[in-house]
Amino acid sequence: MTAPESFSDGEVRIYFDQTLAGRPVEADGGSDASNAAQGDEVSRLSRETFEGTLTGRRFEQGTPPWKFMEIGSLTKNPGGSESDTVWCEESYVYFMDE
């Protein structure tokens, strides 16, 4: 897998963490990854439960930073988004392989 680009503008940082890529997770919350990846504020979180696999991409915003993980290959996507990825705040991401 090729690592996606890193991005930082001082307030927003998107980067790749190989140690997370491919891990199955369940998470509460979520926002369409296409908006967040463009640097849009990730403030439209819902309280839905998602299941899928971590892509390895991480998103940090603000001071202190809010930290998000990108989930792809969604097997549970209650919001019905056309996107196959969502960003979820890391404290609401639960690893299913532990």
The reported pLDDT for the residue numbered 79 is 67
Assess if residue 33 is contained within a domain. yes
Assess if residue 76 is contained within a domain. yes
Assess if residue 1 is contained within a domain. no
Assess if residue 35 is contained within a domain. yes
Assess if residue 2 is contained within a domain. no
> Residue 61: which of 94, 12, 95, 10 has the closest Cα?
12
Specify the number of domains making up the chain: 1
Position 8 confidence tier, pLDDT thresholds 50, 70, 90 = low
State the Cα angle at 86 between 64 and 49, rounded to 5°: 95
> Is there a contact between 54 and 69 (Cβ–Cβ < 8 Å)?
yes
The partner residues of 8 in beta bridges, in order of sequence, read 13
Domain extent, residue 63, equals 7-95
Summarised one tens digit per residue, pLDDT across range 19-51 is: 999 999 999 875 555 555 454 444 444 468 899
